[in-house]
Amino acid sequence: MRALQPVRGTQDLLPEVARRHRRVVETARGAAELYGFAEMATPIFEFTEVFARPIGEHTDIVAKEMYTFNDRGGEEITLRPENTAGVVRSVISNGLAQSLPLKFFYSGPMFRYERPQKGRFRQFHQVGVELIGAAQPQADIEVIALGRRILDMLGIGERVVLELNTLGNSKSRAAYREALVAYFSARATELSEDSRRRLERNPLRIFDSKEETDQIVVRDAPPFGDYLNSESCHFFDQVRAGLDRLSIGYRPNPRLVRGLDYYTHTAFEFVTTDLGAQGTVMGGGRYDGLVELMGGPALPGVGWAAGIERLAMLIAAPPPPPSPVALVPIGEVGETAALKLAEDLRACGFTIDLGYSGNLARRLRRANRIDAFAAILLGEDELARGVASLRNLGSGEQTEVALAELPARLKALADEQILF
């Protein structure tokens, strides 16, 4: 039955994958705290305008990829395709613009209807940061440094390269847009249908095309650097100098752009060759016009987002959870006592697996299957004497232990597991 299969582009995060995801999120959260970023969360769905207005009605994301529907109240709602717009909406609607700068970290699922590929799903997960209210290049440097620290902490810093570019200020961007329109218009017949539409609305987005014919035309497009004014060059020089001071290497990429008009100055991506064509694991930039575009005050901003699925594919397998202790009650009296003993041992920090049915042999087979390091056999006779039988599942040795001494004996066995 189709209903018993996951929807195309979604996946179940089974325990091993979930551990990888958790390591990415916890590592990113811990690093963000070192930089003073506070965690926040926005709803996974918003009024459609929250995304459609800043992203643009004619972009592929809005026209083809957003999950948009009318709820039972007749409101048009969209599952978030990204989280920057939601964070900015939250800043405006909660009146947070009086306490600048604002530094936020987030994690959670995003939704886009696009062709599933390796490391790319229709429900995918991201971690990200937004720094709102700081116009200085130091803010760009800081968010890039945080991204680099997270990748290093995950053990994949050597497998990624930082690509860096500048989009200049609004005047530089306008001048470049005019040059692109002239260039692409002269070669419009060589462009794909999608890129011809982009030429009319936002020529910078032609750089994002994956069509081979478009890429041939893009190769000869005028470089952005030729249209940067002195203010834009100075800002970019400061960003690069700051990265140099922090010994953060980067590779200039003049073709790295952000197609939306509210992006300015710094654009960057951390990329890898270890995931095939889907090489970007983290990307961001400065968006000084976004807050104002969404109806708030004119506030600068800079941030990035990283795909958890892609990062999880790159990291080493996290260690499994601590081996449990199998609590094996025997008979009705043992079953009754086991509930309380299990809670007492959990309060001491032990992972206790309490089987619910089956004879002694079956429960011990389960203990081996879950890789328990010890089993506690709890029967009526042992309870009458205030003891339990403790079996070392590594050596097979079994001894009687007073119930009060179980925590200490279990700790000693657990320590032996760590040593050997």
- Domains belonging to the chain, first-starting first, are 2-169+229-314 (3.30.930.10), 325-415 (3.40.50.800)
Assess contact for 391 and 377: CB atoms under 8 A.
Answer: yes
Collect all residues with Cβ–Cβ distance below 8 Å to 307 and sequence separation of at least 6.
119, 120, 124, 125, 126, 280, 281, 282
In this prediction, residues 13-30 reach a mean pLDDT of 96
Q: Which amino acid is at 300?
A: P
- The pTM (predicted TM-score) of the whole model is 0.90
In this prediction, residues 246-262 reach a mean pLDDT of 87
In this prediction, residues 76-88 reach a mean pLDDT of 95
Residue 58, number of CB atoms within 10 A of its CB: 13
In this prediction, residues 367-381 reach a mean pLDDT of 93
Q: What whole-number distance in Å separates Cα of residue 376 and Cα of residue 332?
A: 16
Characterise 406 by phi-psi region: left (phi > 0), alpha (psi -120 to 50), beta (else): alpha
Look at residues 40, 65, 70, 37 and name the one whose alpha carbon lies nearest to residue 51: 65
Distances (CA, A) of 222 to 213, 231, 259, 300: 17, 20, 16, 28
Distances (CA, A) of 324 to 8, 300, 366, 389: 36, 51, 11, 16
Residue 78 pLDDT exceeds 90: yes
Residue 114, number of CB atoms within 10 A of its CB: 15
pLDDT of residue 314: 95
In this prediction, residues 164-169 reach a mean pLDDT of 94
Q: What whole-number distance in Å separates Cα of residue 10 and Cα of residue 1?
A: 17
Q: What whole-number distance in Å separates Cα of residue 104 and Cα of residue 33?
A: 10
Least trusted range by pLDDT, from 89-93, 206-210, 319-323, 364-368: 206-210
pLDDT of residue 419: 46
| Tens digits of residue pLDDT in 51-62 | 988 776 656 677
Directed axis angle between helix 406-419 and helix 331-347, to 10°?
Answer: 70
Q: Which amino acid is at 304?
A: W
Residue 349 pLDDT exceeds 80: yes
* Position 418 confidence tier, pLDDT thresholds 50, 70, 90: low
* Position 318 confidence tier, pLDDT thresholds 50, 70, 90: very high
Burial of 8 (0-12, 13-18, 19+ CB in 10 A): exposed
- The per-residue pLDDT of the chain, averaged, comes to 92
| Tens digits of residue pLDDT in 30-53 | 999 999 999 999 999 999 999 988
Positive or negative torsion for Cα 146, 152, 155, 156: positive
* Position 210 confidence tier, pLDDT thresholds 50, 70, 90: confident
